[in-house]
Structure 1
Amino acid sequence: MYAKVNDAELYYELLGDPEDPTIISLHGGPGISDHSKGKQAFEPLTDQYSLLVYDHRGCGDSSLTPPYSNEQYAKDADALRETLELGDVVLIGGSYGGFITQEYASRFPEHLNGFVLRDTAPTSEYEENAWENARSKWPQLREMDLGVPKITWDEFSRVMEGDVNSDEEFERVFHGMAPLYAPSLEAFDEAAAEAAAEATESRNFHHETHNVMFTEAYPNMDYRDALTEIREPALVTVGRHDWITPPSASKEIADRLPDAELVIFERSGHSPNLDQQEQYLHRVREFLASIEHGGDE
């Protein structure tokens, strides 16, 4: 379904019983990702909760309607919440969606019962860690036959720097980067390669959205001071082997938030919500139950 929000047409799906408390899942990867992974990861929660998944503007099946910024994405999330009459909500934001969740929590705390962050960072300063991790894995990535396109360091760099030339290039290079997101390159087996190929083929890639967000929004992002003022309860989660937003970034978030718990998933890469889905959902359910009962005493 589509909703007109702040002059953009946003594709969304509302799953579960609308009378149940609502979770909104915010996807990552502007121009790369869409609602599908949030749906895959969190649809089991619809036995107790209503789940809203949607595509940010400039992403997936939503309209290519500028401006693209963290502020605009947070405003869109709240406007969609209001349009669908969802009341107060819990946000689950992963990767870049975690940046938007932090933006939302600092702007619209009155509509937030709590939030879950997954594999994200409080500032763009952690990007240096991502480059170092990629460099350490690069020789092995180039040598191994992992069933994904072979990409050059220059192509990888241009994606990281927001300098992609076309949607086709964006799709191919991101497919080639997929093994980096696994718990290890060795864990990226034939099944993972097939899943990555299927996910790549089913997505709409929008390189211009990515370029804007990674040259204008991301380099200037810094939520460190704002986090200290957020009073809503938070669950901060991360995979131990996340190459792009390492556990140290999540630890800093949890340390700065007044009411937060950090959970590190030891056998996961960038997506513990899928790598260790059963354990991840169990921990999320515990957090949601603590909110419903007024928090841990």
Structure 2
Amino acid sequence: MASRKSQSLLLLLGKRLLQLVLGLVILAVTVGYVWLYTPSIPRAALERMYANAESQFLDLPGGTRIHYRDEGPRDAPLTLLLLHGTASSLHTWEGWVAGLKDRYRVVTMDLPGHGLTGRTAEDRYDRAGMVAAIVAVVDHLGLDRFVIGGNSMGGEMAMAYTLAHPDKVEALILVDSAGLRLDLTNRSVPIGFRLAAISWLRPLIVRITPRSLVARSVAAVYADPARVTPELVDRYWRLLRMEGSREALMKRFAALEREPPLPVERIDKPALVLWGREDHLIPLAVGRELARRLPRAELVVLDGLGHVPQEEDAARSLEPVKAFLAHLEEERMHSDNRQQEAAG
């Protein structure tokens, strides 16, 4: 009888202990969630912070609002349209725009789910959705033929747009471009990207996105993390937290799982393939493959720069771009002369 009572007492104590442990775990998780929870920021507040005098907004009939900037002379010899990468914004091109807009017309835009465009009414962040947004801006501005460029995801969308609208594109500038293969499980990939690639973590990421995670991810795409300023991290972190943008970004990562490599061999346009030698997100080997498979590509490797050379060192990364554009101008002039001679 005493033995049965002892066993019952032990079972009761074990049950109470288990309940206590579970309660402590629930409390710890609740406190941790409340402590780490990262609230969204209203669109209007971010527009006040990160729109400038050059910022314009294209309001589409369905309710989508696309942020873009159109700078430089309208009668420029060449027009450029530049597209940013994943979790970035048109701000990444500000250094290049400053160095190009005296001679060229330069259009930059925030792609769906990013920057001050944010979540769209269509809620599509695959290639088709991105290309549709590019088409909307191109048509709105009445762009005829132009040079399209992009970094990372932006390079992928530049190539996707070219495949869909080849008559619009004069040439491409592809900076550490996606579009072939991308291994997000590699430990050299920024931690934020690796986490977003895990589908079951995505609902958590839309609510918990600490600044430290963004800071580590931005530093990982620079060859020299010392170049990453607190203001730069703040901009990435705040724009990521626009209401709806984190949900949109998770849908972009989901789309990555379904999209095959682009048939880049079909892009018969002059292309400058620009690559940071220290790119650990999309290694130089991918850049060499891209340049080999594009029919008319020139590869330029930038020593000492990482995945976002246009942002890490705008002046140095812009040097081969200016040479490429000058060559395009010269080719166009020769072509115009030949046409005039043939007509005369």
For the criterion TM > 0.5, the same-fold answer is yes
Deviation of 1:219 after TM superposition, in Å, equals: 4.5
Deviation at 1:239, TM superposition (A): 0.5
Alignment partner, residue 45 of structure 2? none
Q: Which runs of 5+ in 1 are unaligned?
A: 139-152
Which runs of 5 or more structure 2 residues have no equivalent in the other structure? Answer: 1-55, 335-344
Alignment counterpart, residue 199 of structure 1, candidates 223, 235, 241: 235
| 2:272 counterpart of 1:232 | no
What letter matches 1:212 in structure 2? Answer: K
Distance change >3 Å, CA 218–CA 36, structure 1 → 2: farther
Output the amino acid matched with 1:203: L
Paired AA for residue 101 in structure 2 = T
Find out whether 1:212 has 2:251 as its counterpart.
yes
Give the distance between the partners of 2:143 and 2:193, measured in 1 at CA. Answer: 40
More divergent stretch after superposition (191-200 vs 173-182): 191-200
Match of 1:55 among 93, 97, 110: 110
Matched, 1:180 2:220: yes
Q: 2:145 aligns with which of 76, 88, 95?
A: 88
Counting matched residue pairs gives 269
Give yes or no for contact 1:33–1:59 (8 Å, CA) kept in 2.
yes
CA apart distance, 1:6: 7.2
CA distance in 2 between counterparts of 1:5 and 1:291 reads: 33
Q: Residue deviations 1:38-90, cap 9 Å, x none?
A: 22333310011111111112222115221221122112212211111122111
The alpha-carbon distance between structure 1 residues 291 and 6, as it changes in their structure 2 partners (threshold 3 A), is farther
Given the superposition, is the C-alpha separation of residues 95 and 166 from structure 1 closer, same or farther in structure 2, using an over 3 Å criterion? Answer: same
Q: Which has the larger radius of gyration?
A: 2
Q: Name the residue aligned to 1:24.
A: 81
Q: Distance in 1 between matches of 2:193 and 2:81?
A: 31
Aligned pair partner of 1:270 in 280, 297, 307: 307
| 1:12 alignment partner in structure 2 | 68
- Structure with the larger RCO, 1 or 2 (CA within 8 Å, 6+ apart): 1
Using the alignment, how far apart are the partners of 1:127 and 1:237 within structure 2? 20
Decide whether aligned partners of structure 1 residues 118 and 156 sit closer, same or farther in structure 2, where only a CA change above 3 A counts. Answer: closer
Query: Aligned to 2:196, which of 133, 156, 159?
Result: 159
Q: SS at 2:150's partner residue?
A: strand
Identity, in percent, stands at 22
Give the ranges of 4+ consecutive aligned residues of structure 1 lying more than 4 Å apart after TM superposition: none
Q: For residue 74 of structure 2, what is the amino acid of its counterpart?
A: P
Query: Could you tell me how far apart the structure 1 residues matched to 2:61 and 2:271 are?
Result: 28
Matched, 1:37 2:92: yes
- For 2:178, the equivalent position in structure 1 comes to 121
Aligned equivalents of 2:318, 2:258: Cα separation in 1: 32
Q: Distance in 2 between matches of 1:156 and 1:115?
A: 26
Whether contact under 8 Å (1:115, 1:235) holds in the other structure is yes
Give the partner amino acid of 1:289.
A
Q: 1:34 to 1:6 in 2, by over 3 A?
A: farther
| Aligned counterpart in structure 1 of residue 188 of structure 2, from 111, 130, 133 | 133
Distance 1:281 1:291 in 2: 15
**Amino acid in structure 1 at the alignment position of 2:228:** A
| C-alpha spacing 1:239/1:6, structure 2 compared with 1 (3 Å) | farther
After TM superposition, give the deviation of residue 171 of structure 1 in Å.
5.4
Partner of 2:20: none
- The alpha-carbon distance between structure 1 residues 216 and 274, as it changes in their structure 2 partners (threshold 3 A), is closer
Instruction: Determine if contact 1:93/1:117 at 8 Å carries over to the other structure.
Output: yes
Offset of residue 157 of structure 1: 3.3
CA RMSD, 1 decimal = 2.5
Question: Residues of 2 paired with 1:87 and 1:277: CA distance?
Answer: 27
Could you state the TM-score of these two structures normalised by the residue count of structure 2?
A: 0.71
Return 266-275 or 171-180, whichever deviates more: 171-180
SS in 1 for 2:188: helix
In 2, Cα distance between equivalents of 1:179 and 1:204: 16
Counterpart of 1:148 in structure 2 is none
1:294 and 2:331 correspond: yes
CA distance change for structure 1 residues 218 and 74 in 2, over 3 Å: closer, same or farther?
A: farther
Q: Of 260, 265, 268, which aligns to 1:221?
A: 260
Corresponding position of 1:284: 321
Q: 1:144: which partner in 2?
A: none
Asked whether the equivalents of residues 171 and 200 of structure 1 are also in contact (C-alpha less than 8 Å), the reply is no
Amino acid at match of 2:166: P
